[in-house]
Amino acid sequence: MSEQETRALVLRYLEAFNAADHAGMLDLVSEDVAHDPFDAEREIGKEKLRWRLGLAGRHFDETLADIAVMAEEGGVRAAAECTVRGVYTTSADGLPEARGQSYAVPAGFFFEIDEGRISRISAYRNPVTWLSALGGE
């Protein structure tokens, strides 16, 4: 894929995230997608990603703002820098009690592309800053 096609693919994925369109997100990834969530170990496979998206959606209402997408020459890898704006809606195991806390934290996503699909997503945000916004220590 070209750099432009890769940027467009990543932007479609992030736009689907903002629309809470999990099916749309999953349509853009490979069956054996590697997902590195910011708060857990790597998970492999579209079904694991579906589960992770559903879990996050039960506890958080998040959108991405200030998105900047960059792609390397050849379009195999891309990165997106953004601000995650969210509301903690329902208490999750291991986290403080949800009271509608809102947060805005910087984040980064790194992608690998294979045969026109996203084959790796690595998500990063500062967990200390995010936990502090939720009222944790």
| Chain segment 39-70, per-residue pLDDT in tens | 889 999 999 999 999 999 999 999 999 999 99
Confidence band (pLDDT; 50, 70, 90) for 95? Answer: very high
- Predicted local distance difference test score (pLDDT) of residue 39: 86
What are 83's strand-pairing partners? 65, 106
- Predicted local distance difference test score (pLDDT) of residue 45: 97
- Predicted local distance difference test score (pLDDT) of residue 135: 87
Q: Which two tokens stand for residue 14?
A: 């992030």
**Lowest-confidence segment of 4-8, 34-38, 57-61, 132-136 by average pLDDT:** 132-136
How wide is the angle at C-alpha 56 spanned by C-alphas 55 and 60, nearest 5°?
Answer: 130
Confidence band (pLDDT; 50, 70, 90) for 91? Answer: very high
**Residue whose C-alpha is closest to residue 91's, from 62, 59, 61, 57:** 59
CB 87 within 8 A of CB 100: yes
Q: Look up residue 25 and give its amino acid.
A: M
C-alpha to C-alpha distance for 114 and 111, rounded to whole angstroms: 10
Average pLDDT over residues 131-137: 81
What top-level class would CATH report for the domain 3-134?
alpha beta
How far apart are the two ends of the chain, measured CA to CA in Å? 44
**Residue whose C-alpha is closest to residue 130's, from 90, 100, 108, 102:** 102
